[in-house]
Structure 1
């Protein structure tokens, strides 16, 4: 089980991440591009993944699933924080960050 505190700790450990409001949510951005948001009301995160990574993570844990609309078809993925452990959250956040971040920044996390 993870919380917003864990989400923030992991996301803010990545290079050049900023936190900004995004409508009624909190967004985590790199180079002003959103890779994750936090919905406090529902205690869940929404992350930008590739279709392949979205499918992979959804297969690992049913608490990770596509947004139920066209945004989901574009890789936007919900993570029910209370249903995932810290390591899985870290893995999915790295994948989301690397989709959005410039390649050089992604490479700093061993991805890219």
Structure 2
């Protein structure tokens, strides 16, 4: 339901966000990286707290899952963009942005 381009637009709509290269991904940062878009544009990673990660994964198990490495235990969460509405994705992005220093 959401595309990589919509993800990018939502991330950049958050105050103070910059888009930067991060390995083979596009990353979005305010003070630190709070999100990245996969090279295929089908998935993205968000920096949530472990508690927030658990909540989002319970609410939308078809869309959210911990990243499959040590970063997943620290809250980094993969989002399958086709499985989430943009309004819900925007809410999750705002949490990640706030976790990394974003403020209005």
Task: Quote how far apart the aligned CAs of 1:42 are.
Answer: 6.0
- For normalisation by structure 1, the TM-score amounts to 0.87
**Residue in 2 that maps onto 1:11:** 11
Superposed, which structure 2 residues align to 1:64-75 within 5 Å?
64-75=64-75
Deviation >4 Å, runs of 4+ = none
Name which structure has the greater RCO, CA cutoff 8 Å, separation 6+.
2
**Residue in 1 that maps onto 2:97:** 97
Contact 2:4 2:41 in 1 (8 A): no
Is 1:86 matched up with 2:82?
A: no
Task: Quote how far apart the aligned CAs of 1:79 are.
Answer: 0.3
**Residue in 2 that maps onto 1:26:** 26
- For normalisation by structure 2, the TM-score amounts to 0.94
Contact 2:3 2:41 in 1 (8 A): no
Report the structure number with the largest CA radius of gyration. 1
- Which structure 1 residue ranges, 5 or more long, are not aligned? none
How many residues matched?
A: 103
Task: Quote how far apart the aligned CAs of 1:51 are.
Answer: 0.7
What is the aligned-residue RMSD (CA, Å)? Answer: 1.1
